Chain A
Amino acid sequence: MVEALGSTQEGNLIINVGPQHPATHGVLHLVITLNGETIVHVEPHLGYIHRSIEKMCESLTYRQFIYVTSRMDYLSSHINNHACALTVEKGMQIEVPARAQVIRILMDELTRIASHELWWGAMAMDLGAFTPFFHAFRERESINDIMEETCGARLTMNYIVPGGVMQDIHPNFQNRVKAFLKMYKSKIHEYDEMVTGNIIFQNRMKNIGVLSAEDAISYGCTGPTARGSGVSSDIRKIYPYEIYNQLDFDEVLEHGGDSFSRYMVRIREMQESIKIIEQLIDHIPEGDFQAKTKAVLKLPKGEFYTRVETARGELGVYIVSEGGTTPYRIKFRSPGFSNLSVLNHIARGSKLGDLVAMMGTLDLVIPDIDR
């Protein structure tokens, strides 16, 4: 039995949600102190899916360790790979060819849409609506098919190598992406009709789990969670990498801070990703898809840090190199960990049903929290 805050008070009920529970979407364990249906305290317990990825990376070469990171945030595995490759490229000072940069960004944004699609379906499922999940998967499947064709894998794509991408895009790639965009646009109205506009859904989401901008900053929230509170935190805008600074897209900001704002941020972010893909899909430059690199990569002695915007927020990769073929120390700053830390703060005082909705809007991926 885990001791929890508030457990000494009479009449309080301690309930263990997880590690096996449909609402936690993985092996997160929440120790919840309840007073009736009202939440007194929530304490997340981690460690059920700790695979010591950081330690594993220390014994892998700079070409190899990238693939392990696909298993952190498996819904944006491509963006994780991207962050690692960027760090290595920064250390080695490798120039990435323009074609590879565009392909990387296209894949990033497709991954972001796929991740948000899954989140949208799971979010509705957390609130008890099952059908949206299947509708979300209809679109997500076609993204996965595109990825399968080009990268050979659907989820953990491992498509990025230091200096570019592993192989050139499939000849069908552009056509299929365009077909997807067309299909997606014809279906997007269903999302609003089925979930966003629903009165029950809005009542469940509005003014629930309010996170102020100050708290979002002090808890270290990033990504849609912070942007839902009006905190500008899009790495693609603040510290642009690749060619993001040449693209025309908006940072989505909502100022409500409640669950509904976080929801709307993600819904609108999908549109922005569509916008980015539309700008690039017809203008993939000709040239190499991979820079010429040495067979064995050795980072110079020193510390290197890069950050990218994954579907969940800011992912930082910190490498300490001693000049060898493997990193001396590696650290990932994962978005999910900081976003989860805010849960107790926003959930206190609300009902048990709302906790599930809040966890949904934080978009937690447990292997990302618990590496």
Chain B
Amino acid sequence: MWSLQKIANTIHEWLNTTFNSTIATTIEMVIAGVAVITLFALLGLVLVLMERRVAAWMQIRLGPNRVGPQGLLQSMADTIKLLVKEGLTPNGADKFLFNLAPFIAMIVAMLLMAPIAFAKDFQLWDLNIGVLYISSVSSIMVISILMAGWSSNNKYSLMGAMRSGAQIVSYELSAGLAILTIIVPIGSLQFSEIVQSQVNGWWIFKGHIPAIIAFVIFMIAVTAETNRAPFDLAEAESELTAGFHTEYSGMKFALFFLSEYVNVFIVCAVGATLFLGGWMPFHIGHWESFNHMMDYIPSSVWFFGKTFALIFLIMWFRWTFPRLRIDQLLNLEWKYLLPISMFNLLLMTALAILGWYF
């Protein structure tokens, strides 16, 4: 039901019959690359608009509503404004690192899209270590932030970058452990298999209490990893003006901005895949007719619905919570989240060995 496999196969066959295999592969790669870039830009635009509308909704105001119908073209207009704006490089900045940092942020966000299963049979690269790939590539993000903070030659930026370094490295641990908690019963790091394992129910329902604990920890940790409030210490507006991107302007700033949103999308997509079944429709055990009915809803709707629900959750955090202090932030990770997630992992392992999950 509802598969893009046929279209992909048709294109693949047509390319291979028209050109020789080398050219066909090259063209396929170009198509994939263009798709990723388009998705990156599109997600950025949609998420910025969504954030502004969610914020406005929570803050009893209207939000963008002038440009285009219902303000839908607002982020387009913003992009054009940022594109024509001068990208300043401050005196005394390390020019090479300063200009490289936003591109690393962008490239990381794009690389992270590769293994995500957007819909049934719609995935760029179904590699067998997909989850590991995501968690390792996302760590490169911290390098870009440190680079930006260090090369700006600004004390606010430096402090923001240092905070961010400590924060991302710490929270990566509990995010990783939360992911492992789900990986243990699945026994695979491959995205397609993770989704397939949830054909009779999502892990958040199947995995008993450990899965719920892991989900909560995962959401906290990824909020911190993507530098979102209440963990937005790297760009703590009221303390450090804009933190690591204080000196950036124009499109260079926009790249940081966009990659932050795309990162939010990616971590939510990973969360949706691991805990909420990815593109897998809502299935309950052996209720065949119910499951069959659910299958009629396209898989991409399931995937994006779940992902955007999680994104909304993260935005909800941002617009309601005050910010933590740096020592409280690290205490939360090392004294609470890390021990809990370690214990949780052991618990899940025991459950998996005993086979006590559905």
* Chain B min CB distance to A2 (Å): 14
Is the Cβ of A129 less than 8 Å from the Cβ of B241? no
Is the Cβ of B61 less than 8 Å from the Cβ of A127? no
Interface string of B214-244 (1 = CB under 8 A from A): 0000000000000001101100111101000
Is the Cβ of A194 less than 8 Å from the Cβ of B320? yes
CB-CB contacts below 8 Å: B222-269 with A: 229-230, 232-233, 236-239, 241
* Chain B min CB distance to A180 (Å): 17
* Chain A min CB distance to B186 (Å): 34
* Chain B min CB distance to A166 (Å): 34
* Chain A min CB distance to B158 (Å): 8
A133 to B328 CA separation, bound complex (whole angstroms): 24
Is the Cβ of A134 less than 8 Å from the Cβ of B60? yes
Interface flag for B159 (CB, 8 Å): yes
Query: Can you name the residue of chain B whose Cβ is closest to the Cβ of A200?
Result: B322
Interface flag for B326 (CB, 8 Å): yes
Given contacts A15-B156, A22-B237, A131-B319, are A200 and B60 in contact (CB under 8 A)?
Answer: no
Interface flag for A195 (CB, 8 Å): yes
Interface flag for B58 (CB, 8 Å): yes
Residues of B within 8 A of A131 (CB): 55, 58-59, 319-320
Residues of B within 8 A of A203 (CB): 324-325, 328
Query: Can you name the residue of chain B whose Cβ is closest to the Cβ of A129?
Result: B322
Which range holds the interface residue count of chain B?
20 to 34
Given contacts A37-B159, A128-B236, A134-B60, are A204 and B241 in contact (CB under 8 A)?
Answer: no
A351 to B232 CA separation, bound complex (whole angstroms): 16
A23 to B243 CA separation, bound complex (whole angstroms): 13
Is the Cβ of A352 less than 8 Å from the Cβ of B159? yes
Interface flag for B288 (CB, 8 Å): no
Query: Can you name the residue of chain A whose Cβ is closest to the Cβ of B323?
Result: A128
* Chain A min CB distance to B90 (Å): 16
* Chain A min CB distance to B282 (Å): 32
Is the Cβ of A351 less than 8 Å from the Cβ of B325? yes
A134 to B229 CA separation, bound complex (whole angstroms): 18
Residues of B within 8 A of A133 (CB): 59
Q: Which of B58, B232, B326, B328 contacts A128 (CB 8 A)?
A: B232
Is the Cβ of B321 less than 8 Å from the Cβ of A198? yes
Residues of A within 8 A of B241 (CB): 21-22
Given contacts A15-B156, A126-B238, A127-B238, are A351 and B60 in contact (CB under 8 A)?
Answer: no
Interface string of B262-283 (1 = CB under 8 A from A): 0000000000000000000000
Is the Cβ of A128 less than 8 Å from the Cβ of B325? no
Q: Which of B155, B156, B324 contacts A204 (CB 8 A)?
A: B324
Interface string of B197-220 (1 = CB under 8 A from A): 000000000000000000000000
Interface flag for A304 (CB, 8 Å): no
Interface flag for A124 (CB, 8 Å): yes
Q: Which of A135, A195, A352 contacts B239 (CB 8 A)?
A: A352
Interface flag for A328 (CB, 8 Å): no
Interface flag for A354 (CB, 8 Å): yes
Q: Which of A22, A37, A201 contacts B238 (CB 8 A)?
A: A22
Is the Cβ of B319 less than 8 Å from the Cβ of A127? no
Given contacts A128-B230, A201-B322, A353-B326, are A135 and B60 in contact (CB under 8 A)?
Answer: yes
Residues of A within 8 A of B237 (CB): 22, 128
Residues of B within 8 A of A49 (CB): none
A362 to B251 CA separation, bound complex (whole angstroms): 39
Query: Can you name the residue of chain B whose Cβ is closest to the Cβ of A14?
Result: B155
A138 to B59 CA separation, bound complex (whole angstroms): 10
* Chain B min CB distance to A129 (Å): 4
Given contacts A37-B159, A134-B60, A204-B325, are A125 and B238 in contact (CB under 8 A)?
Answer: yes
Residues of A within 8 A of B60 (CB): 134-135, 138
CB-CB contacts below 8 Å: A117-166 with B: 124-131, 133-135, 138
Is the Cβ of B326 less than 8 Å from the Cβ of A351? yes
Is the Cβ of B321 less than 8 Å from the Cβ of A129? yes
CB-CB contacts below 8 Å: A179-195 with B: 194-195
Residues of B within 8 A of A92 (CB): none
Interface flag for A53 (CB, 8 Å): no
Is the Cβ of B322 less than 8 Å from the Cβ of A124? yes
Interface flag for A280 (CB, 8 Å): no
Query: Can you name the residue of chain A whose Cβ is closest to the Cβ of B328?
Result: A203
A126 to B237 CA separation, bound complex (whole angstroms): 8
* Chain B min CB distance to A157 (Å): 26
A354 to B327 CA separation, bound complex (whole angstroms): 11
A127 to B236 CA separation, bound complex (whole angstroms): 9
Interface flag for A60 (CB, 8 Å): no
Interface centre among B163, B233, B323, by most chain A C-beta atoms within 10 angstroms, is: B323
Is the Cβ of A134 less than 8 Å from the Cβ of B239? no
Residues of A within 8 A of B59 (CB): 130-131, 133-135
Is the Cβ of A130 less than 8 Å from the Cβ of B321? no
Given contacts A15-B156, A353-B236, A356-B238, are A127 and B320 in contact (CB under 8 A)?
Answer: no
Interface flag for A13 (CB, 8 Å): yes
* Chain B min CB distance to A324 (Å): 48
Q: Which of B163, B239, B319, B325 contacts A130 (CB 8 A)?
A: B319
Is the Cβ of A200 less than 8 Å from the Cβ of B321? yes
Given contacts A194-B320, A204-B322, are A130 and B236 in contact (CB under 8 A)?
Answer: no
Interface contacts beyond A204-B324, A353-B326: sample of 15 additional A-B pairs, CB < 8 Å, sorted by A: A22-B237, A128-B229, A128-B322, A130-B319, A131-B59, A203-B328, A351-B325, A351-B327, A352-B239, A353-B233, A353-B236, A353-B239, A353-B325, A355-B239, A356-B239
Which B residues have a C-beta under 8 Å from some C-beta of A?
A: 55, 58-61, 155-156, 159, 163, 229-230, 232-233, 236-239, 241, 319-328
3 shortest A-B CB distances, which residue pairs? A128-B323, A127-B322, A134-B59
Q: Mind listing 21 A-B residue pairs with CB under 8 Å? A: A22-B238, A22-B241, A23-B239, A37-B159, A37-B163, A37-B327, A125-B238, A127-B238, A131-B55, A131-B59, A133-B59, A135-B60, A200-B321, A201-B322, A203-B324, A203-B325, A204-B322, A204-B325, A351-B327, A356-B238, A356-B239
Which A residues have a C-beta under 8 Å from some C-beta of B?
A: 13, 15, 21-23, 37, 124-131, 133-135, 138, 194-195, 198, 200-201, 203-204, 351-356
